[in-house]
Amino acid sequence: MNDIKFQERIDAEKKIEPKDWMPDAYRKHLIRQISQHAHSEIIGMQPEGNWITRAPSLRAKMILLAKVQDEAGHGLYLYSACETLGISREELVQQLHEGKAKYSSIFNYPTLSWADMGAVGWLVDGAAIVNQVSLQRTSYGPYSRGMVKICKEESFHQRQGYEIMAEMAKGTPEQKAMAQDALNRFWWPSIMMFGPQDSDSPRTGNAMKWKIKRQTNDALRQDFIDKTVGQAEVIGLTIPDPDLKWNEERQSYDFGEMDWDEFWSVVNGNGPCNKQRLAHHKKAHDEGEWVRNAAKAYAKKQELVAN
Ligand code: BYC
């Protein structure tokens, strides 16, 4: 196998599996993207975990707890998919702790009220679904199969968030104001999740050539906006973008300019919660060391017994 044959396989829509030959750059590209995706799922548990003890009812608490546990499961599928590319979990976590691996910018914003649980589920999971439905057709087999399972759970998450927003929007004026405030704060960071504009996205070229990404950042962002505007209208909330306007010719919404300085500042470690999120992850990781050691010792004992 060589680069040309590999590209022919990709062009023929054949999946690449762990033991197949692949160019080193393809392997590295996947390790970067899948590990960042895994880290996002795990770090994404923090802003929501913040509200488990303060959920307003037992029902709301059970649902949120299940959702946060699902995110842990998604992280584990993705770490496993990434490990099939020849890197260990320890190395992946170390890259996160050393700031060499990123995670989604969205999780560096604080969750200030219960309505934020609605906004995160509705918008953040909604954006994640749009991105991940597209990734179900990614060229790397284990990543693609992981996405199918994850998308099923994400659609429950999106509905959980939308239900919170819908309930609050038809509640007291104070509740409706809280829902609108959460939408105001989460709208722009949510559409930034799709990454830089195509013209500023250095990874898109190879990602599209290798069919790792099936749609560009801008195409997915537009799809998300077109799906979400009507959902806001139905529950009587207003998207905080004065330039948002239906474009009859394009059959799509035109929308305002994103604050790219804010985006890059958050991506480069200077968002409102970057330091707190990483410090919390490191602390939990250190405190969990005895669990990992115990699991390893148990596995070793089982191996000895078997032999
Ligand atoms: N945040 O050339 P580009 C979830 C980086 S949902 C941080 O366009 P690419 C969840 C990018 O990594 C979220 N960094 O890159 C939901 C690159 O830097 P490096 C997780 C970002 O890879 C609810 C540079 O900017 N989903 O988990 O072609 C609850 C240039 O960008 C961001 C995924 O990870 C960002 N928003 O496109 C709980 C989906 N955007 O790596 C959990 C999988 C860009 O060269 N990933 N950067 O140093 C992808 O689809 C793509 O990697 C991206 C970026 C669209 C994110």
pLDDT of 34 strictly over 90: yes
Q: Could you give the CA distance from residue 135 to residue 144 in angstroms, rounded to a whole number?
A: 6
Cα(193) to centroid of ligand 1, in Å? 7
Cα(227) to centroid of ligand 1, in Å? 20
pLDDT of 31 strictly over 80: yes
Give, in order, the Cα–Cα distances in Å from 296 to each of 9, 78, 98, 276, 299: 39, 21, 24, 30, 5
pLDDT of residue 307: 83
pLDDT of residue 213: 98
Q: Do 115 and 181 touch, CB atoms closer than 8 A?
A: yes
Q: Closest residue (by CA) to atom 6 of ligand 1?
A: 128
One-letter amino acid at 141 equals G
pLDDT of residue 228: 98
Cα(94) to centroid of ligand 1, in Å? 19
Cα(141) to centroid of ligand 1, in Å? 20
Q: Closest residue (by CA) to atom 43 of ligand 1?
A: 37
**What percent of the chain is modeled with pLDDT above 70?**
100
pLDDT of residue 187: 98
Model confidence pLDDT, tens digit, residues 245-289? 999 999 999 999 999 999 999 999 999 999 999 999 999 999 999
Residues contacting ligand 1 via CB (< 6 Å): 32-33, 36-37, 40-41, 44, 71, 102, 104-105, 124-125, 128, 131, 192-196, 201-204, 207, 213, 217, 267
Q: What is the mean pLDDT of the chain?
A: 97
DSSP-derived secondary structure letter, 112:
-
Q: Could you give the CA distance from residue 81 to residue 79 in angstroms, rounded to a whole number?
A: 5
